[in-house]
Structure 1
Amino acid sequence: MMKINGLITSGSGKGEYFMSQDIYTSQFKDKLGFIPFKGTLNILIEKEDLDKIHSIKNKNSEVIKGSKGFGNVLLVEANLQDNVKGAIIFPAKTTHPEEFLEFVAAEGLRKSLHLRDGDSVTLNIKE
């Protein structure tokens, strides 16, 4: 597992809409074993870690296929804070800069882990 540290940050709010689409939820269930919470946890990482993220994304990602105007999404399994199973997702269509990672899990992590913008978190990413 590769460890990447980052800071919680607010996103655009669009993740909730996309994560609720049937085209995605059924495929996430098949690949991860759960239907993700309707929203993503946005984590800002250091630019120095981008090469590691690119390497993992290129080697270990799985594809969630989009259709009818919805783009494909790559995912890489990861854990947040050593104990929350989930995945980092890489939507083909995104407005975020590449140092913003989107993490999905079965529950709303801001509430369950009491996370706020600026809080430090660690991702353990499957290599």
Structure 2
Amino acid sequence: MDQIKYLKTLALLGCDQKPVKISVKELEHDFKASDKTISRNLKFLEEKELIAREITPSGQMIQISPLGMKALSREFADYKKIFHVREQLELEGVVASGLGEGQYYISIDGYASQFKEKLGFTPFPGTLNVKVKDYCLENRKRMNELPFIKIDGFSDGQRTYGASDCYSAEIGGIQCYIIVPERTHYQGDLLEIIAPVKMREELKLKDGDEIKVTVGEVC
């Protein structure tokens, strides 16, 4: 099945904003498929946690999940890349302490070699963490629509390490990347930033300092 086609159609029906009552019969024209096929595909999307459904006697309430919206955002980002659309977003926040995981994960060979190859530098072993201000959270969501560089997940034979998306950014004249793991302990309002230098020292930053992050490819 074409997951993106299903998600796109559901979004156009308003399922991106709130739960919408939709019968399988209504979807026959859009998907040009039988009731049985549509029902099976909707169940598949639900099992993949791309949509949330509540079955009712008159139909079903469907809403696209945050994971489903992320999939649509990635598709949008791909089209921007294809058509060379350059866009930048401004995020403001405050420097914050992290969970101390950045230094460990960045130094793992499976990640470090990809950073060097795909980003063009070996990151300082640690991340700069920035808590985004509330009024910038909408731009933070839009960040998912920007082109990104994929850092693949891998296994070392003992455990599996997840994939991450890296978004080009700039802080105080220093080129860096916001790294967004597919699995993370952080909420969406906290940015983890990697750079070839220790940004706290280069920019003389401490917890609580206000900071501006420009996200997007530099023209």
Say whether the fold is shared (TM-score over 0.5).
yes
2:135 counterpart residue number: 48
The answer to whether 1:78 aligns with 2:166 is no
Question: Which runs of 5 or more structure 1 residues have no equivalent in the other structure?
Answer: none
Question: What is the one-letter code of the residue matched to 1:11?
Answer: G
- RMSD over aligned CA atoms reads 1.4
Give the drift of 1:50: 2.7
CA distance in 1, matches of 2:132, 2:205: 16
Give the drift of 1:54: 2.5
The answer to whether 1:94 aligns with 2:184 is yes
Structure with larger RCO (C-alpha < 8 A, sep 6+)? 1
1:108-123 correspondence runs (5 A): 108-123=198-213
CA distance in 2, matches of 1:108, 1:48: 28
Give the drift of 1:31: 2.2
Give the drift of 1:29: 1.5
Question: Which runs of 5 or more structure 2 residues have no equivalent in the other structure?
Answer: 1-87
Give the drift of 1:119: 0.5
Q: Does structure 1 retain, via aligned residues, the 8 Å contact 2:94–2:133?
A: no
Q: Does structure 1 retain, via aligned residues, the 8 Å contact 2:124–2:196?
A: yes
Deviation string for 1:60-119 (max 9, x for gaps)?
Answer: 1221001111100111000012x0011001011211111000111001111222210001
Bigger strand share: 1
Q: Does structure 1 retain, via aligned residues, the 8 Å contact 2:103–2:127?
A: yes
SS at match of 1:11: coil
Give the drift of 1:58: 3.4
SS at match of 1:6: strand
SS at match of 2:161: coil
CA distance in 2, matches of 1:50, 1:40: 20
Bigger helix share: 2
Deviation string for 1:45-67 (max 9, x for gaps)?
Answer: 02332332232223312210011
Q: Does structure 2 retain, via aligned residues, the 8 Å contact 1:32–1:86?
A: no
Question: What is the one-letter code of the residue matched to 1:77?
Answer: S
1:104 counterpart residue number: 194
The structure having more radius of gyration, on CA atoms, is: 2
The total of aligned residue pairs comes to 126
Give the drift of 1:22: 1.1
CA distance in 2, matches of 1:23, 1:54: 28
Question: What is the one-letter code of the residue matched to 2:106?
Answer: M
